[in-house]
Structure 1
Amino acid sequence: MTVGMASSASVTASSTGQGASATSSASSIPIGAPAAPIRLALIEGLSGPLGNGGEAVFRNLVWATERVNARGGVRLPGGARRLELVRFDSKGSVEESLSMLRAATDQGIQVVLQGNSSAVAGALIAALDKHNAREPARRALFLNYAAVDPALTGAQCSFWHFRFDAHTDMRLAALVEVIAQDRALKTIYLIGQDYSFGQHLREQARAMLARRRPDLRIVGDELHPLGRVKDFLPYATKIRASGAQAVLTGNWGNDLTLLIKAAKDIGLEARFHTFYGNALGVPGVLGEAGVDRVLAVAEWHPNVGTADAERFYAAFRQRFPKPEHDYLHARMQLMVEMLVAAMERAGTTAPRAVATALEGLKLDGRPLGIAHEGEMRAADHQLQQPLYVSVMRRAGEAGVPHDNEGSGYGFRTLRYLDATRAAQPSSCRMRRPD
């Protein structure tokens, strides 16, 4: 793969795509000579302090597109077409992301992928709304795999934007359900990143905890700059001084890894309730200190315990055998497959037709080897999907056959919420194009 701004990477591999409901089995498609691949623009921070998260996303999307291409590509009336992933390094900046969006649309790319920052996602939605209104011949869709501010499918909801991750309120509600049943827990500390996602999480956590655990004392509540803190020792020291028994954080990337490391270094024994504590170095940093103390919430994890999940995870490990590349998210695979299914359902790659086909689309990923399923809610373009709350344990114990990143520690399911229980109300009032 070629690395660098707007450098393209053609990819190949195996799996199967389907239409509105994934019920058919894999089939072989004759490969002709397509006029051009279908290009997908990944606009993400691929360098800088949070670049590790961007590269981890890239690996997931490479694998997803490889699997589509290995079966012949996207089946369209004019013949099957391959997917091509094109990298645009935003360096984690809103301004650079907008510049990359212009570069992508100038090249005629019709699908944009982004997720690591709700602030960036919000700016992209606004810019793409204007672009698509001004230039209907060069419209593009925005598929979001990780930006979880509820406003993106609420007050700012857009016909051109689809979110495939569970948003903040969905993830938070799952964590609060676990917190609410821990009657021994009396004190908690809130800490997060100072941007739209972290600010919303802070407010919603207070509200949800007040409803579910009015007796629980919040002994600390603060935000820190996104991606700029190099030493979290002062924050960990304040958490310890507060007497908090638990910490609730939405931190991701190095902001989470460094926070967890600082907590370990000072012997902080609080339990961490996280959105992303099961990836990107956290288990390896914590080691034994994280056992029973780090919780995470996600749509899937390697130890969910089904035969489908075992096959799915084994296939990914075969493609990316390095332990440090162990960052697999089922939703990113489902996102690409749902895009393919919508294009095949619409019979075109035209953004408006594909968006209409995505609305209400249900996809069972199990026939595709994904071990995940979801339904794209038409009202707000928020994917409805199951969620798991899991806790860090030693690999090899009951329920933990797989570790994370070669650390010797993995995650075991504490709570499973089906899509109905994980759902949250929609406040979207979507304006659809004429």
Structure 2
Amino acid sequence: MARILLIDDDLNLLQMVKLMLTRVGHEVDTTSSGEEGLTIAARQRPDMAIIDVMMPGLSGYDVVRKMRQEPRTARIPIIILTARSQPMDKHMALEAGANAFLSKPVTAQELTERVDAVLEAGVDYRVHTGLLTEPASQPVQPGSPDTSPTPEAPAVPSPVPSSPPAETPSDRKPIGVAEAQQRKVTGPLPASLPLITVIGLRGGTGSTTLAVNLAALWAGAGRRVCLADFSAVSGHAQLHLHLTPQQHWGQLLNAGDAPDPRALPRLLTVHQKSGIALLGAPPIPTHSTLSARMVQGVLRELSSTFDQVVVDAPTLDTATRGALLASRAVVVVMTDDPPAVQTTAQFLAGLQSMNIEMGRVRVVLNHVRPAADIPAETIQKALRRPLSAEIPYDTEQTNAIRRGVPLVVSDANRPFSKAVQQLARTIAG
């Protein structure tokens, strides 16, 4: 997991929060002094800092400001933890440069969910109550030049233009309006589009991680790949890729049930390091979603242009149902805890009731913690079907998200990457 620096002058709370974090696999360094915390942060460069506000000497706000001014610590995500819970306190924390704000007392679930959300979002995003994420008003920049290595800052791309854009690293032919018009497909949805839907049945299963890495793997093999994130609550695919799309599928909400093939290519944003073309989610959560017919129309158009389309489906809503019915393969991502086993069994029964051929379904066990709750063999017996893949827990995954480069791209030989490669072969077979 992550290495976290905890700064709080309340020794009892310091130990309690440390226990909460270590129980879920994080490595925690502690100090009760803001000054010492700055020294530790500059020396160790942790993956995150959690800082109390009310401390003798330097306050938590002072520590945050100094970390943002110091090149060696400027890009460390920070959570402010305080007993003060007024709106002004939250405003001051975010203005100082924190990425999130938590009020004491905090439960283990609240803490771990907020920590996971901030680690996944990265330093250039703020995570609010309800785990809603938004870009920071200004990307975090060091206060002065720094010659030592730091995590790569995410680039802010421009929308893919209608005229031919720059070629991707694999020199694939760019996607433009003219090609989309020439290859327009009409009529009923094909029975077998080059479409894969990856769905997690609840937050924290790692379904977005798998969707992004599958897309990157196929793009690296020379295919033209589109990744569609149909989340209605600030999708995470763009966070994994460090993209901030100016265009997104939310601009289709008032377009009826059929997409304009001339407009669709302009909604895509290319991730230059992998070659993935992303159809991103709206940056502001929306209560609306695309109709099943609109989703199928979008997927029809994308499938006429791309060799492979991967859908990141966060939940079973109208948009996801449209994608599931059109998919050549459905990847159901689950974790190794008892609730996940029960939920997955119920979901598989639901897919059968939707008349989705179970031969198209791949169940994947994704280990999101170092230790497994339930062995894979037990899960297979409970589901009465084999697992298509077992993805190992990998500490490097957090760093891959922070860099904005999928792990299958940055290190194809890690066990995680090897497991994703095997999953891709299983899907193809």
> TM-score normalised to the size of structure 1?
0.32
> TM-score normalised to the size of structure 2?
0.32
Q: Kindly name which structure, 1 or 2, has the bigger radius of gyration based on alpha carbons.
A: 2
